Every structure is written in structure tokens, then in C-alpha cells.
Amino acid sequence: MTHYKFLSTILFMLCVGSNVSFAQILSASEIPSDEDRLAESTRLEKKREEMDANYQKAMRECYQRFDVVGCQLKARDKRLEVLAVLRKEENKFNALERQIKAFESIQRTAEKTSDAQLQEAENQRQDAQQAAKDRQERTEQKKQDYANQGKNRPNYEAKQREAAEHRADTEKRLQERTNAPADPLPSPVRSK
């Protein structure tokens, strides 16, 4: 049981430590210039190439000695020591590069988000204004229709009377008609 507690404590400490490193995102004033970053990158590359060249030279010299294996082991140990120092420098540089990229990414996202939010708010405001204007116009139209409904009642009744009179006249004319309907047209003859 104590073993699990110990592991959970270590895991907790690692998580806390990683949160601290995530929180240390650079501000715009702490970012080195592109030239400085490029210079540092080329310096590290040259240092690595120099270390590899020194190792290759030491290995060639080892073949000139009597104790080849011992010399090679010493050259390898020296290379590992130099490589460890170089790796620390490269890790610091790479961590800085990652932080810079994260900072730039956060800035781009914030700019896009703020622009998008402003545009969305403007669109919502315009939509709300248009909806309010449409509601107001519909309300005014309903008020006018209601007011005109009482005024148009006599016109409506007059049109209804005219329509009823027209129907009555049409029916009367049809009943007064004395002419018999005309004979139907002859059917066409088919030729054989």
C-alpha cells in the first residue's frame, strides 16, 4: 500500500511540475528575435558537427595506437559527456521554440476568436434590430387593417349586393332565353 502512495505522490508532483512549465508561456517582450533564434540554431548545429568531427578524428587516432579498444571507449565516453552538455542546450533551445510557437498559436487563436466574436456580436445586433423593425411594421399594419376594417364595411356590403344582383340578372337571362340550343356539329367521316 505504501508503494502506491509513494507512486501517487510522485505522479502528483510530476503533474504539478508540468503545470508550472505549461504556465510559463512567454509574453511578447520575452521572445527573442528571429535572427537570434536562427543564430542559436546554427551555433548548436555547428557544435554538433564539430563534436562528431572530433569523435571521428579520435577514432582514427585510436587505430594508430596499440590499445585500440581502450582508446575507443575513452573517445566514446568523452563524446557522451560533450553530447550530454549539447543535448541540454538543445533541449533548452527546443523548449524555447515550443513556447514561442505556443505563444504565437495562442495569439493567432485569440485574434481570430476576438474578430469572430466581434463579427458575431455585430451580426446578432443587426438581426435583433431587423427583427424589432419587422415586428413594429407588422404591428402598424395590423392597426391600420383593424382601423380600415370598419371603414370598408359599407364598400364590402355594396360589392356583395352588386354580386347578388349580377347573379340574379344572369339567372333571369338564362330562363328568358327562348332559343333552342343549336344542333350539334356533324361527326367527321372517316375515309377508307
Task: Dump pLDDT digits (tens) for 5-61.
Answer: 554 455 445 544 544 443 455 555 677 888 888 898 899 999 999 999 999 999 998
Please write the tens of the pLDDT for every residue from 103-142.
888 888 888 778 778 888 889 999 999 999 999 999 998 8
Please report the pLDDT score of residue 1 as a whole number: 46
Any idea which residue has 550530454 for its cell?
84
Give 160-177 pLDDT, tens digit per residue: 999 999 999 988 888 887
Return phi, psi of residue 120, to 5°: -65, -45
Which pLDDT band, with edges at 50, 70 and 90, does 190 fall under?
Answer: confident
> Does residue 4 surpass a pLDDT of 70?
no
| Cα 101 from Cα 107, distance rounded (Å) | 10
Report which of residues 23 and 91 the model is more confident about.
91
> pLDDT: is 150 or 43 the higher one?
43
Q: Quote the CA–CA distance of 184 and 162 in Å, as a whole number.
A: 36
DSSP string, 99-121: HHHHHHHHHHHHHHHHHHHHHHH
DSSP code string of the chain: -HHHHHHHHHHHHHHHHHHHHHH-PPPGGGPPPHHHHHHHHHHHHHHHHHHHHHHHHHHHHHTTSS-HHHHHHHHHHHHHHHHHHHHHHHHHHHHHHHHHHHHHHHHHHHHHHHHHHHHHHHHHHHHHHHHHHHHHHHHHHHHHHHHHHHHSHHHHHHHHHHHHHHHHHHHHHHHH--SPPPPPPPPPPPP-
- Measured CA angle at 70 (ends 67, 76), to 5 deg: 135
- What one-letter code names the amino acid at 169? D
Q: What pLDDT sits at residue 165?
A: 95
Measured distance CA(45)–CA(58) in Å, rounded? 20
d(CA 39, CA 46): 10
